[in-house]
Amino acid sequence: MADATGKVARLLIDGVNEAIELPMYSGSEGPDVIDVGKLTGQGYFTYDPGFVSTASCDSEITYIDGDAGVLLHRGYPIEQLAEHSNFLELCYLLLNGELPSAAERDRFVDTIGHHTMVHEQLRAFFQGFRRDAHPMAIMCGVIGALSVFYHDSLDIDDLEHRRITAYRLIAKMPTLAAMSFKYSQGEPFIYPRNDLSYAENFLHMMFATPCEDYQVNPIIAKAMDRIFLLHADHEQNASTSTVRLAGSTGANPFACIAAGIAALWGPAHGGANEAVLNMLAEIGDEKNIDKYVAKAKDKNDPFRLMGFGHRVYKNYDPRAKVMQQTCHDVLEELGVEDNPTLRMAQRLEKIALEDEYFIEKKLYPNVDFYSGTILKAIGIPVEMFTVIFATGRTPGWIAHWNEMISSPYRIGRPRQLYRGPSKRDYVPMDKR
Ligand code: CMC
């Protein structure tokens, strides 16, 4: 629980003489919060569609300062983690609160490696999907289905059960992600290889076939690891809040993560990386960029520039900066620096950053703007982009679910401003 500031907020309501006193709390960073939890006892609710001004929980995992463009995981800046750490070490940090010692890291990596296989019976689930099913649809199904295999460890009040579930989810996400891709290609599934790193193993399961091995390019593997790392957590975003809300009912963790995957799928959230590439394809040529920027600014046109804007960042997304550098490294390595898609993306970025509309509304490129370009260069099909986001976000979802379950929590149950009809009597059919 956050520290009380000693300050109170006073809410004066027209026609009511006495102000309602609301306690205030301070976190270790960020603005003070006003506790409105007792307002309902006074006969009022707060109204905040989209939860723009609402903190739904206490958390020690991730801090974002959207105005300054700061992102900290357990206090460590994302730029430092991207430069010096890797995805699995960050998973450990998110789950445990501290960086691991060398022995703890080795044990963690080894444990994840030994949970990468999925139950053979799970392979049969895939046959139920159409070959052209979107891989996110498959992921919602098969991650939820994992719970049927682990009846032995679904007691959410048992720390050991929660721990093994975290390992299983982090380890099996890339396996199931690659299987959803292989299924769409009509290719056989490739088993995980524990001698490879997390990112190498994922790329191997994606691109190897039983007829031909796939030599993982270390620069591509590093970029893949970085993409997972940069997506690992982002505090109370829509999918994480969905995981918490589902978890607050006592639902099992596989069901909660499946709910998070469903929430992530939308184009305003994790689906944006796929939408960026689709948008660039629609723009088609640099000469059309001005027309599309004008469309994005037109209030009567629903078109938005995908990969721009963020609910919290009103500055450059710090993940986008790291991603931009990675993007150049990958394209240089692959010898596709002169890629027309990247050229268009760079031109679009420049125009939008100099445009009064985007400056005034503080709309900067976000992480999805660059990740899509990198993934395309690596040869990952567009439909898989959001699946990769989901794989990266899994430790964040679990860390938040675990944080909630580990301390006293209540079922998440928002209220509403009801605007429907007031009570009226049922009208029989012959009187309507
Ligand atoms: N292009 C054009 N105008 C935009 C854009 C955009 N991408 N984003 C926001 N605006 C405008 C919007 O029309 C509104 O204008 P006005 O004040 O005149 O009505 C103003 O900026 C504020 O927008 P909002 O929709 O109220 O902001 P929000 O915080 O509710 O939405 C967002 C944030 C990310 C959903 C939105 O910026 C968006 O749709 N961006 C494109 C999709 C995208 O890239 N999403 C990925 C987000 S980052 C990854 C993640 O967290 O999942």
Mind listing the pLDDT tens digit for each residue in 202-212? Answer: 999 999 999 98
* Partners of 20 in the β-ladder: 11
* Residue 90: count of CB within 10 angstroms of its CB: 26
Q: Is the pLDDT of residue 2 over 70?
A: no
Give the DSSP letter string of 242-277: HHHHHHTTT--HHHHHHHHHHHHTSTTTTTHHHHHH
Residue 3's pLDDT is 67
Residue 137: alpha-carbon gap to chain centroid: 16
Is residue 416 exposed (0-12), middle (13-18) or buried (19+ Cβ within 10 Å)? Answer: exposed
Phi, psi at residue 292, to the nearest 5°? -75, -35
**Exposed, middle or buried, 47 (CB in 10 Å: 0-12/13-18/19+)?**
exposed
Flag whether pLDDT at 234 surpasses 80. Answer: yes
Closest protein CA for atom 17 of ligand 1: 361
Residues 6+ apart with CB under 8 A from 70: 63, 64, 77, 318
For residue 1, pLDDT beyond 90: no
pLDDT digits (tens, 9 = 90+) for 94-105: 999 999 999 999
Specify the pLDDT at position 385.
92
* Residue owning the nearest CA to atom 37 of ligand 1: 309
Q: Which of 269, 317, 355, 400 is catalytic?
A: 269
Q: Is residue 95 within a helix (H) or strand (E), and if so which, with residue range?
A: helix 87-96
- What letter represents residue 310's amino acid? H
* 304 CB within 6 A, ligand 1: yes
Dihedral sign, Cα of residue 388, residue 389, residue 392, residue 396: negative
The confidence band for 303, taking pLDDT boundaries of 50, 70 and 90, is very high
H-type helices in 284-384, by residue range? 289-297, 318-333, 340-354, 356-360, 367-378
| Identified catalytic residue from 225, 233, 355, 368 | 368
Q: Mean pLDDT, the chain, as a whole number?
A: 93
- Assess whether the C-beta atom of 237 lies below 6 angstroms from ligand 1: yes
Distance 236 CA to ligand 1 centre (A): 17
Q: Is 240 in the pocket of ligand 1 (CB under 6 A)?
A: no
CA torsion, ordered 412, 56, 387, 148, to nearest 10 deg: -30
Residue 363, amino acid: L
Percent of the chain with pLDDT over 70: 99
SS3 20: strand
Residue pLDDT, tens place only, 153-200: 899 999 999 999 999 999 999 999 999 999 999 999 999 999 999 999
pLDDT, one tens digit per residue, over 342-393 is: 788 888 888 888 999 999 999 988 888 888 888 988 889 999 999 999 999 9
Q: pTM for the complete prediction? A: 0.91
